[in-house]
Amino acid sequence: MSAPLAVSSPTDSPTSTPNRLGLGIAAVVATAVCGWFGSGLNPWWPLMWIAVLPVMAFAVGARWWSAALVAFGAVLAGSFNHWHYFVALEFPAPIRLVIIGVPAITVSLCVLLFRALLRRRAWWSAVIAFPAASVVFAWLMSLGSPHGTAGSIAYSQLNFLAFLQTASLAGPLGLTFILSLFPAAVVTCAHARRVMPGTAAKILGASSAVVAGVLIFGVFRLDQPIGGPRVRVGLVGSDGPNEGVIEQWPRAEAMFRQYAENAERLAGQGAVAVVIPEKLAVLPENDAYRLDAIFQPLSDRTHAILVVGVLTITASDKFNEARVYRPGRPVERYHKEHMLPSFESNLTPGTSLTQLSMPSGIWGVQICKDMDFTALSRRYGESGTGLMLVPGWDFFMDWFSHGHMAVMRGVESGFAVVRAAKGGSLYVSDNRGRILGEIKSDSSPFSTLLVDVPVAHVNTLYQRWGDWFAWVALALCTVSIAPLFRRRAA
């Protein structure tokens, strides 16, 4: 890190001109609008590259409290784009405020750190400290949140495939770092060029090289053949009158037979596996034979693997379960490990992986919210899983923002994803995050999808080392704040 330089500049002293209020309001509006549309339920990814830039630019010439207030207000306002979603999830109002308030606080702290370093002319430290601190905060929040990595700005980039490949190296934290580095470098260069144009040019070159390197890696990775055999998979979903969890067996039986008819049709078209959504009905354990009597003969007859989601009740526990039917084999079961608070607080989490050794490779099973957490997918990746079968259930409005989080898990841990959700969409993605086929679950009484997907596990750095980048960011953050302790701010 370069030592801070004692060079005077108009930006050293906060100004209190009438224009300051207008600039603050403009910064709040610009960042809030970018955040609203860039990180919403259907995000437009380019906006998140510049979302915090206006408040960072404002902060440099503002008093610390003014900078903090503007950053907090802007991020908070932009985060209200999820308020109606949190209402649908039945989160109490205080919890909703915490969910949108904590990111606003952490961004404000990162902006204040950036401001303090930039005003001391610690140019390199400022550029590094902002993204490093952003990563550390994001990591800590993911460790303490019952929603895992949900809420990370990294998910705004799911449609930017070249950039998404960064997840194979450093997971969501890697994307967070680059997204935060970009505005930090722009604002730093804009101020450094007036007093140290040479340093500004070096910062511009270094930051551009990092971003370009990441994107070149992504383009190269996308261009590499996946290899492995291709298998045909089918998906079935329905949002008709039976979209809830059915508790009476006669109604459940009628629904399951309709699913079975559609699954048989897909198997007749070559599907070697068919995935059906989660929690279709409540099934007491001693009644499991009723469901098995529908799907096991179907699997035996068609030679297809069938994955069906139900709630099973034993004498002591209640599980969100995926029952896996394989031709000529006993029924296998996977119990969901990560529960949605309030909706599934009464369920018992599972602890074991369910893997199928197939001619095409190893297949795995997870359920819906499991895919919000990186560690479980890494466990599957470490054992060579090449295809993940995922029953799900979304809330219609989050069919992309939540439903597609599983796509990043496939990039991180090297497997293709087959996800069938009611209240959302049915889709298949490869291990590079490309959507190979997708249809909304409410597009017909029983929506179906048939896709050929390559099954090949790819070892990734993130799969092996997990959140290693969090420790790198912590080290960078520690080193970059050193100038704050060497000289008092002007």
pLDDT single digits (tens) 351-373 = 999 999 999 999 999 999 999 99
pLDDT at 9: 44
According to the model, what pLDDT value does residue 240 have?
73
Percentage of the residues of the chain whose pLDDT score is greater than 90: 89
Q: Assign 8 a pLDDT band (cuts: 50, 70, 90).
A: very low
pLDDT the model gives residue 285: 84
pLDDT of residue 486: 75
Q: Which whole number is the average pLDDT over 178-191? A: 97
pLDDT digits (tens, 9 = 90+) for 135-146: 999 999 999 899
| pLDDT band (50, 70, 90) for residue 342 | confident
Name the percent of the chain lying above pLDDT 70. Answer: 95
Give the per-residue pLDDT at 93: 92
Q: Is pLDDT larger for residue 35 or for residue 12? A: 35
Indicate whether 453 pLDDT > 60.
Answer: yes
Mean pLDDT of 387-404: 96
5, pLDDT greater than 50: no
Query: Which pLDDT does position 487 carry in this prediction?
Result: 53
Q: Is the pLDDT of residue 10 over 90?
A: no
pLDDT band at 94 (very low <50, low <70, confident <90, very high): very high
Report the pLDDT value the prediction gives residue 243, as an integer from 0 to 100: 63
- Whether this prediction's pTM lies above 0.95 is answered by no
Report which of residues 6 and 417 the model is more confident about.
Answer: 417
The tens digit of pLDDT for each residue in 19-33 reads 888 999 999 999 999
Q: pLDDT per residue over 102-123, tens digit each? A: 999 999 999 999 999 999 999 9
- Residue 166 clears pLDDT 90, i.e. is over it: yes
Query: Helix/strand/coil (H, E, C) string of the chain?
Result: CCCCCCCCCHHHCCCCCHHHHHHHHHHHHHHHHHHHHHCCCCCCHHHHHCCCHHHHHHHHCCCHHHHHHHHHHHHHHHHHHHHHHHHHCCCCHHHHHHHHHHHHHHHHHHHHHHHHHHHCCCHHHHHHHHHHHHHHHHHHHHHHCCCCCCCCHHHHHCCCHHHHCCHHHHHHHHHHHHHHHHHHHHHHHHHHHHHCHHHHHHHHHHHHHHHHHHHHHHHHHHHCCCCCCEEEEEEEECCCCCCCCECCHHHHHHHHHHHHHHHHHHHHCCCCEEECCCCCEEEEHHHHHHHHHHHHHHHHHHCCEEEEEEEEECCCCEEEEEEEECCCCCCEEEECCCCCCCCCCCCCCCCCCCEEEECCEEEEECCHHHHHCHHHHHHHHHCCEEEEEEEEECCCCCCCCCCCHHHHHHHHHCCEEEEEEECCEEEEECCCCCEEEEEECCCCCCEEEEEEEECCCCCCHHHHHCCHHHHHHHHHHHHHCHHHHCCCCC
